[in-house]
A and B are shown apart, each in its own frame.
Chain A
Amino acid sequence: MAWIKRIIFSAMALVALIAFLLGSRPTEEVAPPGFTVVEYWEKWVGNEAAQMKVIVDDFNHTVGQQKKIYVRYMSMSDIDQKTLIAVSAGVPPDIAGLWDQQLGGFAALGALEPLDNLATQHGITAKSYLPVFWNACHYNGHLYGLVSTPGTIALIYNKLIFEQSAAKLRAAGLDPNRAPTTLAEFDRYAAALDLRDSSGQIDRVGYLPLQSWYHPLISYWFGGDIFDPKTHHFTLTSPATVHAYQWMQSYSTRLGQRTLIDFQNSLGAFDAPNNPFLVGKLVMEQQGPWMASYIQNLKPSMSEILVPKSEEYKLPDRRANYAWAVAPFPSAVPGEDDISYNSFDVLVIPANAPHPREAFEFLAYVNRQDVAEKLCTLQSKNCQLAHVSAAFLKNHPNPYIDVYQKLAASPHARAVPSVPIWPEVFKELTDTAQNITLSGADVTTALAAAQQRMQERYDRFHRIELARQRAGLN
């Protein structure tokens, strides 16, 4: 036995040695001499990270060459934690890629460099942007970031299942060849599209209010709001918000809490091949334009139902090649059409970053129309800019990109509310939604409790902030 052990031990030592000697490091790019190195930390780690890398390389080969700036790009998970620790220790990166929902909190607490002057110098103004994104990049009247790619939320539905259920839909007085246009109609579509198996268990649902990162903003589609910055008050008990949560509850009541939990837990993650929408268990959902590329990667058959992908432009309408379609998510308020939540990835310059000017060169580069269109096409997103080319709309991986573009330009386009404690509000609203849908809590009571807690939290934040200002400690 002893010699066997010795052999295995030696083998392991050998492997360790080999790993030691041959574990060559992937060569770190060295900036050309005399160049300013701009450190850029990006939150995306998957395909989106690689797509952004293309843009970084472009920059380093063109504008970077001229202006002697080199962007060193690092994609990392848990970026908020790492950025915060590095910032607090005084070694921040020059650029950080964050989520829209983090911007307000970071800006409120002095984490970000205001970009107003730099933007003006580069000719980036309100005119260049769609208003919804321009406004959302501001906090307290100052610009704190520029969009890298936006993602507008709309209704995506399985066109094939609509067609297969034509008889049922028609029996309910609905047209299987179009999307619902009002919320009442949407509910009737959803109910008609539910399918139960022989044992009476739900096998397919028309729609489910599954918990997601955009759900806390559901009241937008009901004409509701979250926070009123003028009065410093939350509006979680407004009739519109109550309506929104009642609506969510109506789905869990009709389908059963079990179904909701099963769908939430049992089916795959959003980016997994067994995502309920991809396997045909969920017919309608709210999603952003990126869905096109996820569907393309995970279930290509849904994007080439007539001809191979490469030939789709030979069709009179390339949309006919897709098993799915996109429409504005219907609104509950008559007359207020084209409501949407407009999320976005945002590039910021942390406070005390060593090279803010050089960093802004990259931000400006990403917001040049040709570059923005390229990046948004790569990541399958819509575009934040006021003007996009016809080629962008035509060549985009999502054949419905014009729908998203139109939604983002609509006067009813909304973005994340400008609340400094938004991450807390986000959690509170997520919890409230779970409480209402999974535990059947009373909507009015739950929202009133959430309102009270959040208001208290905000008042405390505000009180300490004022005290800080008085003490001159900001």
Chain B
Amino acid sequence: MNKRGRLVSALFLHAGLLCVCAGLILPFLWMLSTSLKTLPQTTETPPRFLPHPWQPQNYGAIFTHPNFHALLYTRNTLLIAALTVIGTVISSSIVAYGFARIAFRGKGILFAIMLGTIMIPFPITMVSLFRIFRWMDVHTAAWLGAGNFLQMLGTFKPLWLPAWFGSAFNIFLLRQFFITIPRELSEAARIDGCSELGIFLRIILPLARPALAVVALFSFLGVWNDFLGPLVFIQRPNQYTLALGLEAFQNRVGGSEWNLLMAASVLVCVPTLLLFFLAQRTFIRGIATTGGK
């Protein structure tokens, strides 16, 4: 293609992307604009896009609002997120390796079952899950006394512990990328006397580092925005996560303090947004990881 043709097509692309982005960002901009409005402005007709006057104090108000403990919720969310991310990355990569690189009897059926579990709606397992945790508590309490370190209900464990047993979606994702790593690499290592674990740790994991970053990011986002899990397993307001706190906040002030609600929402998505913006190259390369290239 000649230089000029390239320029023209780049121009078209930019125009197209700008249109798309304008459409996509509009609702967010409105969120932003509402978060900077005074209360009466939020229900003005016709709506005004640019707040006048500005009220950036809304963001300060969020941190001192009696009904929204931003720092506390962030702390809780980060705690759960950290434990979930570590657990997911470790366990999902191990399991994915098994599914991707070892030919063993029953693999097909196990893999199909695992895929099937992605389809199981959480609402249907959550009630039984709750009862299982309760059952575990009753039994650990009999051995170790009430409130022991294995206590599940009333702690964050029901939210992060399952992540340490792999998450089907992430296993599927990692498996898809592990299978693209050329077999010759692991065969060569095997001939050199490397054990299966050695191949996994020394060959596959380093190559899959970007893919692992993706899993980490996905599971982080999952925790950050998870609503149903905390809703079921968390009762005490001082254990609220951001998503739950936001919902409670919406219930409390919804319809009235719109501007504060939107400010809180913006605050909740800013960290993940920054994270994505910074990590997106690694992120996309990670999903695309193929060992050979």
Does B236 reach chain A (CB closer than 8 Å)?
A: yes
A15 to B275 Cα, complex, angstroms: 13
B10 to chain A, nearest CB (A): 21
Mark each residue of chain A from 1 to 16: 1 if its CB lies under 8 Å from any CB of chain B, else 0: 0000100110010011
Q: Which residues of A contact B73 (CB under 8 A)?
A: 23
Does B109 reach chain A (CB closer than 8 Å)?
A: no
Of B76, B232, B247, which contacts A82 at CB under 8 A? Answer: B232
Instruction: Indicate whether A45 sits within 8 Å of B252 (C-beta atoms), given known contacts A12-B274, A28-B236, A74-B237.
Output: yes
- Is the Cβ of A74 less than 8 Å from the Cβ of B251? no
A262 to chain B, nearest CB (A): 13
Instruction: Indicate whether A23 sits within 8 Å of B275 (C-beta atoms), given known contacts A78-B231, A89-B130, A90-B134.
Output: no
- Is the Cβ of B255 less than 8 Å from the Cβ of A19? no
Q: Which residues of B contact A9 (CB under 8 A)?
A: 278
- Is the Cβ of A85 less than 8 Å from the Cβ of B78? no
Q: Which residues of A contact B275 (CB under 8 A)?
A: 12
Of A12, A46, A298, which contacts B252 at CB under 8 A? Answer: A46
- Main SS of the interface on chain B? helix
Of B75, B237, B271, which contacts A26 at CB under 8 A? Answer: B237
- Is the Cβ of A25 less than 8 Å from the Cβ of B238? yes
A45 to B252 Cα, complex, angstroms: 6
Instruction: Indicate whether A5 sits within 8 Å of B75 (C-beta atoms), given known contacts A78-B231, A273-B43.
Output: no
Residue of A at shortest CB range from B239?
Answer: A25
- Is the Cβ of A12 less than 8 Å from the Cβ of B271? yes
Instruction: Indicate whether A89 sits within 8 Å of B72 (C-beta atoms), given known contacts A76-B235, A268-B255, A298-B256.
Output: no
Does A272 reach chain B (CB closer than 8 Å)?
A: yes
- Is the Cβ of A88 less than 8 Å from the Cβ of B131? yes
Q: Which residues of A contact B253 (CB under 8 A)?
A: 46
A393 to chain B, nearest CB (A): 29
Of B71, B127, B251, B256, which contacts A22 at CB under 8 A? Answer: B71
| Interfacial residues of chain A within 1-58, with CB under 8 A of chain B in the complex | 5, 8-9, 12, 15-16, 18-20, 22-26, 28, 41, 45-46, 49
| Interfacial residues of chain B within 229-266, with CB under 8 A of chain A in the complex | 231-232, 235-238, 247-248, 251-256
A41 to B73 Cα, complex, angstroms: 21
Residue of A at shortest CB range from B131?
Answer: A89
A284 to B274 Cα, complex, angstroms: 50
Q: Which residues of A contact B254 (CB under 8 A)?
A: 269, 271
Mark each residue of chain B from 106 to 130: 1 if its CB lies under 8 Å from any CB of chain A, else 0: 0000000000000000000011001
Does A91 reach chain B (CB closer than 8 Å)?
A: yes
Q: Which residues of A contact B78 (CB under 8 A)?
A: 16, 19-20
Residue of B at shortest CB range from A274?
Answer: B43
A82 to chain B, nearest CB (A): 7
Does A77 reach chain B (CB closer than 8 Å)?
A: yes
A298 to chain B, nearest CB (A): 7
Does B153 reach chain A (CB closer than 8 Å)?
A: yes
Instruction: Indicate whether A91 sits within 8 Å of B134 (C-beta atoms), given known contacts A19-B78, A76-B235.
Output: yes
A92 to B131 Cα, complex, angstroms: 12
Q: Which residues of B contact A74 (CB under 8 A)?
A: 235-237
Residue of A at shortest CB range from B44?
Answer: A274
- Is the Cβ of B251 less than 8 Å from the Cβ of A77? yes
Does B37 reach chain A (CB closer than 8 Å)?
A: no
Does B69 reach chain A (CB closer than 8 Å)?
A: yes
Does B225 reach chain A (CB closer than 8 Å)?
A: no
Residue of A at shortest CB range from B72?
Answer: A23
Does B176 reach chain A (CB closer than 8 Å)?
A: no
- Is the Cβ of B237 less than 8 Å from the Cβ of A45? no
Q: Which of A76, A81, A297 has the most CB of B within 10 A?
A: A76
- Is the Cβ of A23 less than 8 Å from the Cβ of B71? yes
Interchain Cβ contacts under 8 Å between A and B, 7 examples: A19-B71, A23-B73, A26-B72, A26-B237, A77-B248, A89-B153, A272-B255
Instruction: State the 9 A-B residue pairs at the shortest beta-carbon distance, nearest first.
Output: A23-B75, A272-B255, A23-B71, A19-B74, A89-B134, A25-B238, A45-B251, A274-B43, A269-B255
